[in-house]
Each structure stands twice: as C-alpha cells, then as structure tokens.
Amino acid sequence: AQALSAQDAGDGRFYFDYTRATGDLRAMKQGISQYLEPSRAQPRLPQGYTVSGQYRRERP
C-alpha cells in the first residue's frame, strides 16, 4: 500500500518492505534446509564391521 501511494505521488520513490522480505528469505532458508536434510535415518554399517576400501587384487 505504501508503494502504491508513493508511485501515485509522482516523486518516483518506493518503500521496501524489509519485514516481508526477511520473512520470505527465512521461509526459503527453511525450505532449503528441509530439502537437504534427510527425513529418515541414514544407513549405518553393522557394529563391528569395517570397510576395507581395497578392491583390487592381483590375478591368481
């Protein structure tokens, strides 16, 4: 409403709504965080099992 009244005045000024912009940025940040964070537990290795990481072997 402030932006419309300022435009009607003809002085070319407008008013930025920092409160609304901050709320929108907060909502976007939460959406990105929810997208990146898994909603379920990540798979785990069984207890006592270790991954070797070495998968090459010489020909017999």
CA distance 16 to 19: 9
Which tokens go with 47?
């207890």
Q: Does pLDDT of 43 surpass 90?
A: no
In order, the DSSP letters of 25-50 are HHHHHHHHHHHHS-SSPPP-PPTT--
Residue 33 CA to residue 27 CA, distance in Å, equals 10
The Cα–Cα gap between 50 and 56 comes to 17
Per-residue pLDDT at 23: 94
For residue 10, is pLDDT > 80? Answer: no
Q: What is the pTM of this model?
A: 0.46
Question: Which of 6-10, 38-42, 54-58 has the lowest average pLDDT?
Answer: 6-10
Tell me: the pLDDT tens digits for 20-29?
Answer: 999 999 999 9
